[in-house]
Chains A and B, each alone.
Chain A
């Protein structure tokens, strides 16, 4: 996934218009970032419907808080911060009040559409993928968020630190811990 540059193209103008209440301009920003925001949410909550709902909530909250957005920082980083906070809070609430979601059944990461083709489905349903998602489930939402922001979104440690509002050292140690856990889950496969 390509990492967007800071306020690229007409982004500053779109943000300014959205800040003044222009819903159409904000719609362009939603189109631009929706997949990434859904990705952050999905990595933390592991459920497609929840991820979509949380993405929607992320954008609504971003719109409400646009007057507070300082264009010195990256809009995407600011957006990821909102998404990660909402998803982590959601996951914590769910942890305290677990809801039956049929997690024994097919999980979101394995539930891929048939239009992707049999070979793709075969890869996606592979043992490696299954183990990976099991290991991800064992991680805390904070560890999941940090590894997703690094591995999928390609954020630097400083950017992750800004998104998750934690020290750089914490980012480093969380990443190391998460990678060790995932490595442990894949160990036998890698050796095979």
Chain B
């Protein structure tokens, strides 16, 4: 049998369940055959029970009202440590950078979407103008200014037509600056524009 002097220093940890399995087994075997050590182990348990009763009663009798408020009053007077001020500064910078990046990303996304959506229309619109320019080439110089004015005047209508029907103006032909003729082959549509003077109004 193991000697009591070897077991006694382990009794406290044995009661706490803090021994490793080999030591636990050794103490348990010893206690089974040693009434002195078994009594000592029981005494340790009793000490724990009395101590808990005494200290818990003492602590529960202490009035704690006002402790939280006292602590909060003291911490409100504290100047934040250099480190925590630095941390807060970093967080503020981080938030600002994040917000700026978010705005920039949104702006880029909107610009990209706009470009993607409007590019075909822009091409069509430009193509219309090319035809118009080509058609106006043979016009006499004297009539050029009037034709330019006419082209400017019809531009809004043309834009509306492009937006509304997605029509492609394939030809714009006229020798007379007061008259314009549009042909739209896809929809088989021809539009004849007369100035107010020509129509007699």
**Interface size (A, Cβ < 8 Å)?**
56
A33 to B52, CA, bound (A): 18
Number of A-B contacts (CB under 8 A): 133
- B72 touching A183 by the CB < 8 A rule? no
Instruction: Using A175-B16, A179-B44, A183-B47 as known contacts, say yes or no to A113 and B84 having CB atoms under 8 A apart.
Output: no
- B51 touching A175 by the CB < 8 A rule? no
Interface string of B133-152 (1 = CB under 8 A from A): 00000000000000000000
Chain B residues whose C-beta falls within 8 Å of the C-beta of A176 in the assembled complex: 9, 11-13
- B47 touching A182 by the CB < 8 A rule? yes
Contact of B54 among A1, A20, A35, A109 (CB under 8 A): A109
- A124 touching B57 by the CB < 8 A rule? yes
A63 to B74, CA, bound (A): 10
Among A49-57, A76-84, A86-94, the one that faces the other chain is: A49-57
- A133 touching B68 by the CB < 8 A rule? no
Ordered by A's residue number, 29 sampled pairs between the chains whose C-beta atoms are within 8 Å are: A30-B71, A38-B67, A42-B55, A56-B67, A56-B70, A56-B74, A60-B78, A63-B75, A67-B87, A109-B58, A148-B55, A151-B48, A151-B51, A151-B55, A152-B51, A152-B55, A152-B56, A156-B18, A157-B13, A157-B16, A172-B12, A176-B11, A179-B44, A182-B47, A182-B51, A186-B43, A186-B46, A186-B50, A190-B43
> Which A residues fall within an 8 A CB radius of B?
1, 19-21, 23-24, 26-27, 30-31, 34-35, 38-39, 42-43, 48, 51-52, 55-56, 59-60, 63-64, 66-67, 108-109, 112-113, 116, 120, 123-124, 128-129, 132-133, 147-148, 150-152, 156-157, 172-173, 175-176, 179, 182-183, 186-187, 190
> Which B residues fall within an 8 A CB radius of A?
9, 11-13, 16, 18, 40, 43-44, 46-48, 50-62, 64, 67-68, 70-72, 74-76, 78, 80-81, 83-84, 87-88, 91
